[in-house]
Amino acid sequence: MNSAVNLPAPQRERLPIAQRRAEEKLSQIVPDPAALRLLNTARHASSARQRVIWLQRAASAWSKPLQTVAACRKGCDHCCHIPLTVTQVEAELIGKAIGRRPTPPATSVHLLELGDHAQDWKTAQTQLQASAPAGPCPFLVDHQCGIYEVRPLACRVLLNLDDDELLCQKVEGVEVPVPYANAMQLKAHYLALQPAGVLADIRAFFPPQHS
């Protein structure tokens, strides 16, 4: 991937403005205390399935105040076209909700085989993203999420804190530094609370079905 200097002028010029906007918005946000309560419930739940369910609820509570200032709008689906890593547990929750079993993914990462280092995780993530099947998320229907109530944690927390979707537009070969809300704490719990988790792209768990 090339760096942001290779961006078209409108996006390149927007970067510092978007960064300032995001910082300003974050300084005004009042966090929802329910997010921490739900996170604690997730940490003490007895099964990986229950932990993921509570984590998803925590993620929704965490994102609620941010949604009021984010650029994200109903019908905007840029982020449904980028790679999306989920765990087997999360895929099974989706599968149960829609009555379809997840497929064993062709490319996956087993958390037990990863070391503790952030670099190992970054390498695995890059590998999953590079092998992600092309195309939009299989659950994108008419520019809207077809599994909204059971959508993965990653979708609940991906919020662009700019004022519009300019920086979400895909630029071939360049990783655009969108000013996303920082969900590192939730994502770290997501991995730590599923220590035996198997990760893959959502398209690998749910490949297109041909009738």
Interacting residues with ligand SF4 (CB under 6 A): 80, 84, 137, 139-140, 145, 147, 151-152, 155
Report helix, strand or coil for 106: coil
Torsion of CA 55, 36, 71, 81, to 10 degrees: -20
CB of 162 closer than 8 Å to CB of 71: yes
Which single residue is written with the structure tokens 């719990």? 189
Which CB sits closer to ligand SF4, 7 or 84? 84
* Closest distance to ligand SF4 from the beta carbon of 137 (Å): 3
Which CB sits closer to ligand SF4, 121 or 139? 139
* Closest distance to ligand SF4 from the beta carbon of 83 (Å): 10
Which single residue is written with the structure tokens 């590079």? 130
- How far apart are alpha carbons 138 and 153 in whole angstroms? 16
* Closest distance to ligand SF4 from the beta carbon of 27 (Å): 28
Amino acid at site 205:
F
* Closest distance to ligand SF4 from the beta carbon of 69 (Å): 19
- How far apart are alpha carbons 24 and 20 in whole angstroms? 6
* Closest distance to ligand SF4 from the beta carbon of 199 (Å): 15
- How far apart are alpha carbons 61 and 160 in whole angstroms? 17
Which CB sits closer to ligand SF4, 42 or 84? 84
